[in-house]
Amino acid sequence: MKSKNELGELIRAVHFAADKHRMQRRKDVEASPYINHPIAVAHLLSEEGGVSDLITLQAAILHDTIEDTNTSHDELVRSFGRDVADVVLEVTDDKSIPDRVERKRLQLVNAPKKSARAALVKLADKTCNLRDIRATPPANWSLERKREYFEWAKKVVDALPAVSAPMLMAFNASFELALE
C-alpha cells in the first residue's frame, strides 16, 4: 500500500488534471467528461499492469495536460517535479505541428526512444483508447476510421520498448476485441 504522502501526491495530480480538463469532453456520443480518460489510464496501469510507481501513475493522470490544456512543462515541473513533467512531455504530441498525419508519424518514429515510464503511459493510453473506441466511439467515426486507428495504435505499441508483459497482454486483448 502506498504511504499517506504518496497517496496525497497521486490525489493532488488527479485534482490538478480535473481542474485543467474541467471544460473538456470526449468525442463520444455522450460527450463523457474528459477526465475519465486519464483516470482510466492510471487505473489500467495500477490494476492490470501492477504499476505502483508514483511518478508513472502521476504522469498517467497528467499525460494530456500539456497537449490538450494551457499547462506548460515548467508548470508541471513546479507542481510535480522534473521526473513527472519529463514523462508527460515525452508522451505529448507537438501541437505546433499542424498536420495530424505528421504528428501520428512522429509517434511511430519516437516510440522506440521512450523511457520505460513513458512507454508504460503510452501503452496504457493506447489500450484505453481502443477500449473507448470500441465501447463508446466518437460520434462521426466510420468502421473504416476505427480500424485505421486500431492498426496505427498497434504499430505504435509494437514500436515501444518492451516494458510490461501484463500491459502488452491488455493491449493485445483490447486490439483483438476492437477488430471484431
> Catalytic residue numbers?
67-68
For the chain, where are the alpha helices, taking DSSP H only? 4-20, 36-47, 54-62, 65-68, 73-80, 82-90, 100-110, 116-135, 143-159, 165-178
Cα 167 → chain centroid: 13
Q: With left for phi above 0 and alpha for psi between -120 and 50, is residue 81 left, alpha or beta?
A: left
Angle between helices 116-135 and 36-47 (to 10 degrees): 120
Cell of 106: 512522429
Cell of 17: 488534471
